[in-house]
Amino acid sequence: MEGRRPTADSRSQFWLMCMRCCVLAGCVDVALFFIFHYLGSPILAWINVFSGPMYAIAWWALKTRRNVLALTLIWIEVLIHATLGSLLIGWEAGFYYYLLMFIPALFAGNRSYRRAALTVVALWLFYIGLAVATHLVEPVQPISENARLALYLFNLTVLFGMSSYLSMYYMMTVRRAHRSLSRMATTDPLTLLYNRGYMVELAGRHIAEREHGGRRLAFLLMDVDHFKQVNDLHGHDCGDRVLSQVGALLREALREGDSVGRWGGEEFLALLPGADTRQATQVAERVRQAVAGYDWSLYGLHAPVTLSIGVSEHQAGEMLSDSLNRADAALYAGKHGGRNRVEVALETEQQSAAGSQAG
């Protein structure tokens, strides 16, 4: 039976990603400390000694939900690092790359697109200013051509790694949000079965397939008997839990490939692709027995919950509403025949529902 999947909180995922970035950035700073020592650039080496603890504090701030403090520290660190790196060694060392990583993060983490866009403009102006400054002023602590190239390649590699990670995260977030939205649009929140709208869509697809020479299609329209009494005697909350349990029993009793949804209040619909009337009737009987045989005393009920079920099979050229009307007529006959019964619809809407199996 088709089911549903768990959800994830995308906002907390964003902060988890920031924590991972802090760890990565801290590791990069440790690597840069040794690189600058090796290159004979002590000022930059010592900047990294301060950067590492800043990322450690930012990580701790994120862990303790001091998100604004964490983001402020990360911004300060990257701005100072990129500025000093560019002014001391030169634009060609590629420290400006680190500023670029803020652009997607600004839009992903900011609820206001306007504020994110304004910050990007400020960042762009800063970027331009830094480029012009490094063009006009000679590097304060120049290093050899080869060392600068090595540094440039290192920074470029970090940018590729970080950007790939961030892009992957953003795509995962979008896909997760899409899955979550489509689940909400297709699921009944109480029973976690498909909702009516999605059942209509699924039935439409099966009918189209059948009209093109595909498999047969049978419908089970099911209604909980005397459900009003459950609400009246045990309360609405108990009624909700009973409906939810009926949903779970229906899911268990149906085969992989069948679909079941909540059709209305205490009414359910199952689609059985590939089943003819005889097979659908057997399935309906199995479902009826599964619900009636469940131990409902667990819910404080003194009598078992039962279902009346109307079975219909889609006829060539028939509209969905016609198949369902025939199933509904059979269900109605089941109610009148004493409930806790499976009734089979006749082939055309004009004929009354007939045939019965006692419960």
Query: Catalytic residue among 77, 266, 313, 318, which?
Result: 266
**Minimum distance, C-beta of residue 204 to ligand GTP, in the bound complex (Å):** 25
**For residues 60 and 49, what is the distance between their CA atoms, to the nearest angstrom?**
18
CB 269 within 8 A of CB 310: no
Is 268 a binder of ligand GTP (CB under 6 A)?
A: no
Sign for the pseudo-dihedral over CA of 240, 246, 252, 255: negative
Is 243 a binder of ligand GTP (CB under 6 A)?
A: yes
Q: Is 266 a catalytic residue?
A: yes
**CB closer to ligand GTP, 240 vs 349:** 240
**CB closer to ligand GTP, 140 vs 190:** 190
**For residues 307 and 357, what is the distance between their CA atoms, to the nearest angstrom?**
13
**CB closer to ligand GTP, 176 vs 339:** 339
Question: Binding marks (x or -) toward ligand GTP, 139..168, rule CB under 6 A?
Answer: ------------------------------
Collapsed DSSP state (helix, strand, coil) of residue 107 = helix
Q: Which stretch binds ligand GTP (CB under 6 A): 41-49, 60-68, 180-188, 228-236?
A: 228-236
**CB closer to ligand GTP, 11 vs 236:** 236
Is 228 a binder of ligand GTP (CB under 6 A)?
A: yes
Is 310 a binder of ligand GTP (CB under 6 A)?
A: no
Is 266 a binder of ligand GTP (CB under 6 A)?
A: yes
CB atoms within 10 A of CB 223: 22
Is 194 a binder of ligand GTP (CB under 6 A)?
A: no
**For residues 151 and 222, what is the distance between their CA atoms, to the nearest angstrom?**
70
Strands, sheet with 307-313, edge to edge from the N-terminal-most edge strand:
259-264, 267-273, 217-224, 307-313, 342-344, 354-357
CB 271 within 8 A of CB 194: no
Is 236 a binder of ligand GTP (CB under 6 A)?
A: yes
Largest CA distance in the chain: 96
Joined together, the tokens standing for residue 305 give: 């919950």
Q: Is 203 exposed, middle or buried (0-12, 13-18, 19+ CB in 10 A)?
A: buried
13 to 52, contacts with ligand GTP by CB under 6 A? none
Is 265 a binder of ligand GTP (CB under 6 A)?
A: yes
Per DSSP, the chain holds a count of helices (H) and strands (E) of 12, 6
Q: Which residues bind ligand GTP (CB under 6 A)?
A: 190, 223-228, 231, 236, 239-240, 243, 265-266, 335, 339
Residues belonging to the active site: 266
